[in-house]
A and B are shown apart, each in its own frame.
Chain A
Amino acid sequence: MKDARGREVGLHEDLAAVVIGLGIVLLALAVTWQARPVSDAGSRARHPKGWPTPLAATVGMPGAWADAPLDAFRDKQGDLAAGAIVLGMGWVVAIVAAGVVLGGGSVRACLPGAILIAGLACLAYVLSGQKVVKYYNLEYPLWALAVGLFVGNAAGVPRWLAPALVGEFLIKTGLVIFGAEVLVSRLLALGLPGLMTAWLVTPVVLVATYLFGVHVMRIPSRALCMTLSADMSVCGVSAAIATGAACRAKKEELSLAIGLSLFFTVIMMVAMPPVIRWMGLDPILGGAWIGGTIDATGAVVAAGESLGKQAGEVAATVKMIQNSMIGLIAFAVAVYWAGWVERDPAGPRGTLAGEAWRRFPRFIVGFLAASLVCSWLHTLGPEQALWVDGATTGFTLKLRGWLFCAGFVCMGLQTSFRELAPYLASGRPVVLYLAGQALNLVLTLVVASLTFGWLFKKVVEP
C-alpha cells in the first residue's frame, strides 16, 4: 500500500488484495458447503442458482424502484431489507479497514472516510436502481463515478477522507473475488460453433482495435487503447475493469472507457433488434450476433429477448462464453504489459520472464487462482457445480459489486474534471470505439453466419 506521499509501506497493495480476496472466496465456499442441503443436493431444478448460502443474508443491495427512492430498501416481497444493505456497507468498511491495516495504516484514521465511501456507494446503487436507468442498462459503475466526481469537484476531498481513498485496492480485491465467477468450463457451453465465434472474433477485434488506436490513430496512451478495445470486444464494464487493472490504466482512462461502453451499449440494445428483424435473420444467427457484439451482458439478454425467446437464449449463452474469456484475456494483457510495453530498453538486462514477473500485477495471480479452483470444482459433478454457483451467486457477486461500486466512488473523488477534459476534447477515443465496434459487427456476423448458418447447420430431412 502507498502512503500519502506515494511511498510503498506495509504489505504490497496487490498482495493485500489477494490475501483478502482469496480469504473471502474460501469463506464463501466453506460456509456454503457447511450449510449444504440434506436432500436433492444435486438437483438443478430444485436449486437453479446453486445451493442457498447463509452468507447471502449478510450482504444486501438496494433494489429497483419506480417513483419512491425508499422502495430501493425493500426486497421483492415488499419487506424492509435495510438491515442486509447496511451489512453490505459494513463489508465495504471492514475491507477498507483491513486493507489499510495490511498496508501499515491506522484503522482509526480511515474509519470516518470508509463510512462516507460506503454511504456514497449506497447512493450510487439507489440512483442506478431507478427503473428507467436500470432497464436501459446504465449500470452502477457510471453512477458511482458520477457521485464521486460530483462530490470531489464540488466540495473537494477533506483531509480526514484521504486515508480511506483506496479505490485501486478495492477494485483489485473485487477482481480477485470476481475470479470465482469466471468459470473456464463455460467456454464450451455452445459447442464448437460458439467456441469458434468467441475465439476467432474476440481476440482478432481486441488486437486489431488496440493496434489501430496505437499505430494509426496515434492515441498517446496504450493503456486507454487496450481498455477501450477490451471493453468493446469482450464484455463491457467487467472486461474494462479487469484489463484496465492488468495494464495499469489511469482512473480517467478507465472512467472514459466505461462511459463510452455504456453509452453505445444503450444505443445498440435499442437499435439491433429492429435491424435484425429488417434483415430477416434467423433467431439463432440474430442471437449470436447480438451476443457477440453488444458489450454488456444484461443488455445482450434484453436485446435478444426482445427478438424472441430463442434469440434471447442463444444471445445469453454466446455472451456467457465471451464472459468466460475475461480471465485469459486479463492474464495475456498483464503478461504483454509487463514483458513488452513497460520494459525499459535502457534498464538492466535480465531474462524476459524474470523482468516480466518483476512487473507482473500480482493480484492477477489471485484472480486466476480463484477462477481455476472454482472452474475445477464446478466440473467435479452436479453437487459441486451447485456448491460453487450458490457461493458465487448468493454471496461473492454481491460483495464484489459493493467493492467495485466503492472503488469507483473513490476514483471519482480523486479525479478532477480538468483531467478528463483532454480525453473528451480530442474525440479520438470515440472514433476508436466506433471503428472497433464496426469491425466487431462485421466479423461477428460473418463468423456466426459461417458457423451457425452453414458449417454446423443440420440438414433437416424433408
Chain B
Amino acid sequence: MPRGERRAALRLVAGAAVTGAVWCGLLPRLLSFAPVARHVRLMEERGVDPAAMYYTELERLPRCPAWLADRVVLWP
C-alpha cells in the first residue's frame, strides 16, 4: 500500500475510534448525569423531539390552543 494511502487509512481508523469512544462511551455516561437525565426524561414524557427541524416533524402537529381564545382576541 503506498505511503499516502496508508496514512489516509490510519486517519480514518483513528477518527472512527475517537467517534466510537465518544458516542458509545462518553455520551451514554452523560445520560446518567442528573440535569441531562432530567431534561431527556421530561422531553420523552411530553413526546417532544427537540431535534425536529420543521413543525411537521413534531410528534403532535401544533394547533391554536382552544383556551387561548378566552384570553386573547384572535380576530377583532
List A residues at the B interface (Cβ < 8 Å).
Answer: 48-49, 66-67, 69, 127-128, 130-141, 150-151, 154-156, 178, 181, 186, 189-194, 235-238, 269, 284, 296-299, 301-302, 305-306, 310, 312-314, 316-317, 319-320, 323, 389, 392-393, 397, 401, 452, 456-458, 460
How far does the Cβ of A449 sit from chain B's closest Cβ, in whole Å? 13
Asked if A296 meets B39 with Cβ closer than 8 Å, knowing A127-B19, A284-B71, the reply is: no
User: B73 to A301, Cβ gap below 8 A?
Assistant: no
User: A323 to B23, Cβ gap below 8 A?
Assistant: no
* A323–B67 alpha-carbon span in the complex (Å): 23
The size bracket of the interface on B is 35 or more
A–B complex contacts, Cβ < 8 Å, 5 sampled: A69-B24, A130-B27, A155-B11, A237-B53, A397-B57
Q: Mark B1-38, 1 if CB is under 8 A from A, else 0.
A: 00000001101100100010001100110110000100
> Knowing that A237-B53, A297-B58, A301-B62 are A-B contacts, what are 6 other residue pairs whose CB atoms are under 8 Å apart, sorted by A's residue number?
A134-B51, A150-B15, A305-B42, A305-B43, A312-B48, A392-B56
User: A139 to B53, Cβ gap below 8 A?
Assistant: yes
* A319–B60 alpha-carbon span in the complex (Å): 14
User: A191 to B64, Cβ gap below 8 A?
Assistant: yes
How far does the Cβ of A396 sit from chain B's closest Cβ, in whole Å? 9
**Which of A192, A310, A313, A393 makes the CB contact (< 8 A) with B62?**
A313
User: A136 to B72, Cβ gap below 8 A?
Assistant: no
Please classify the interface of chain A as helix (H, G, I), strand (E, B), loop, or mixed, using the class held by over half of its residues: helix
Q: Which chain B residues in 38-76 approach chain A with CB under 8 Å?
A: 39-40, 42-43, 46, 48-58, 60-65, 67-68, 70-76
User: A456 to B74, Cβ gap below 8 A?
Assistant: yes
List B residues at the A interface (Cβ < 8 Å).
Answer: 8-9, 11-12, 15, 19, 23-24, 27-28, 30-31, 36, 39-40, 42-43, 46, 48-58, 60-65, 67-68, 70-76
Residues of B within 8 A of A306 (CB): 39, 42
* A50–B48 alpha-carbon span in the complex (Å): 19
How far does the Cβ of A297 sit from chain B's closest Cβ, in whole Å? 5
User: A319 to B50, Cβ gap below 8 A?
Assistant: no
How far does the Cβ of B63 sit from chain A's closest Cβ, in whole Å? 7
User: A316 to B62, Cβ gap below 8 A?
Assistant: yes
Residues of B within 8 A of A299 (CB): 50
* A132–B30 alpha-carbon span in the complex (Å): 7
User: B72 to A458, Cβ gap below 8 A?
Assistant: yes
**Which of B43, B54, B73 makes the CB contact (< 8 A) with A235?**
B54
Residues of A within 8 A of B27 (CB): 130-133
Asked if A297 meets B48 with Cβ closer than 8 Å, knowing A132-B40, A313-B62, A456-B73, the reply is: no
* A66–B44 alpha-carbon span in the complex (Å): 12
User: A457 to B51, Cβ gap below 8 A?
Assistant: no
Residues of A within 8 A of B61 (CB): 48-49, 389, 393
Residues of B within 8 A of A181 (CB): 54, 56
Nearest B-chain residue to A139, judged by Cβ: B51
How far does the Cβ of B21 sit from chain A's closest Cβ, in whole Å? 13
User: B23 to A135, Cβ gap below 8 A?
Assistant: no
Residues of A within 8 A of B11 (CB): 154-155
How far does the Cβ of B58 sit from chain A's closest Cβ, in whole Å? 6
Asked if A191 meets B72 with Cβ closer than 8 Å, knowing A131-B31, A155-B9, A306-B42, the reply is: yes
Residues of B within 8 A of A189 (CB): 62-64
Residues of A within 8 A of B67 (CB): 310
How far does the Cβ of B48 sit from chain A's closest Cβ, in whole Å? 5
* A270–B17 alpha-carbon span in the complex (Å): 30
* A386–B11 alpha-carbon span in the complex (Å): 50
